[in-house]
Amino acid sequence: MRVLKAYARSPAALIGSAILLALLVMGLGASWFYPNDPLGLAGRPLQWPGANPRFPLGTDPSGRDIAAQLFHGARISLLIGFVATSIAVVIGIAIGAVAGFYGGAIDTALMRLTEAFQTVPNFLLLLVLVAVFGSTLQTVTIAIGVVSWPPVARLTRAEFLSLRTREFVQACRIQGLGDVHLILREVLPNALPPVIVYASVVMAVAILLESALAFLQLSDPNVPSWGNLIGLGRSVLRTEWYVSAIPGFAILLTILGVSLVGQGLNDALNPRLAGGR
């Protein structure tokens, strides 16, 4: 309750939530607003925004409605962002929790693995995964999750390292509770707040990674993605720059919304850090 109140008081959180809510409505209502296939031919290509009342945001080089692609793209971006973030957070928490809780050789081995993943540039690893497994919506989403977990693992591990020696954990240990219970029921709930805040960063990065991949035309070409549209707009950039400008602005707003919500969560969950500075 206190957290919720603190969250509602933060202007950053309110603006961020409003943006994300609007995107959610766009994404969920996409089929209702624009029931036709957003990748289907809609009219004469390259009509400027406002030139034709049927296409308030204009049409792209293939004559597809940009507004329709924007709405359907919101669904794809949010979906990929949410699923990829969940994958990254689950892998990260699992590895970080085990490494931090047990320490020793297990910790060393798991941290070597984490380091290996962090040493390879994540976008490069993403390219390799796409090259090997192909670029359907599923593989791209999973690949983004797989390259994004190392910071989550490091954060979880640090929390576990400081929590595992606390008295409440020792008390539970003396009661004879098993490791699984200790990790999941005792330590994890206390380690979770910073991880949840960090999940907003992971989500922002995930959406950016997908749009960059789609921009390079290496993501799924059969789904209406904002990055895809920006990439298509490149060929007409010199004259019809709005084709690239509009979806890019949508990505900017989305990342802004996610970051603001993250900031609001951070302020609400760490009240000592807010206000004072």
Partner 1 sequence: MRVLRLALWRLAASLPTLLLILAGMFLLLQLAPGDTVDALMAQMGGGDAALAEDLRRFYGLDVGIAAQLWNYLMRLATLDLGFSAIYGKPVATVILERLPPTILLMAASLSFAFFFGLVLGVIAARRVNKWPDTLISTLGLIFYATPSFWFGLMAIVLFSVYLQWLPAGGFGDITQSYTGIAAVLDIAQHLVLPTFTLGLIFLAIYLRIMRASMLEVLSLDFVRTARAKGLSETRVVTKHVLRNAMLPMVTLIGLQAGTMLGGSVVVESVFALPGLGRLAYESVVQRDLNTLLGIVFVSALLVITINFLVDILYARLDPRIVSGS
> Among residues 116, 171, 184, 196, which is the contact residue for partner 1, using CB under 8 A?
116
d(CA 209, CA 85): 12
> Among residues 25, 28, 90, 120, which is the contact residue for partner 1, using CB under 8 A?
120
| Residues in contact with 84: Cβ distance below 8 Å, sequence separation at least 6, in sequence order | 141, 142, 144, 145, 148, 203, 206, 209, 210
Nearer to partner 1, 42 or 243 (CB): 243
| Cβ contacts of 35-44, under 8 Å, gap ≥ 24 | 36/68, 38/64, 38/65, 38/68, 38/69, 38/71, 38/72, 38/73, 38/224, 39/64, 39/69, 39/222, 39/224, 40/64, 42/68
d(CA 228, CA 3): 39
253 is a site residue for partner 1 (CB under 8 A): yes
Residue 272 CB, nearest approach to partner 1 (Å): 13
Residue 84 CB, nearest approach to partner 1 (Å): 16
Nearer to partner 1, 83 or 146 (CB): 146
Alpha helix locations (H) across 216-241? 226-233
Element (H, E) at 134: none
106 is a site residue for partner 1 (CB under 8 A): no
> Among residues 20, 204, 206, 265, which is the contact residue for partner 1, using CB under 8 A?
204
90 is a site residue for partner 1 (CB under 8 A): no
196 is a site residue for partner 1 (CB under 8 A): no
Nearest residue to 116 via CA among 90, 88, 149, 87: 149
130 is a site residue for partner 1 (CB under 8 A): yes
Contact stretch for partner 1 (CB under 8 A) within 21-29, 71-79, 123-131, 184-192: 123-131
- Binding residues (CB under 8 A) for partner 1: these are 112-113, 115-116, 118-133, 204, 208, 211-212, 215-216, 218, 227, 230, 233-234, 237-238, 241, 244-245, 248, 251-256, 259-260, 277
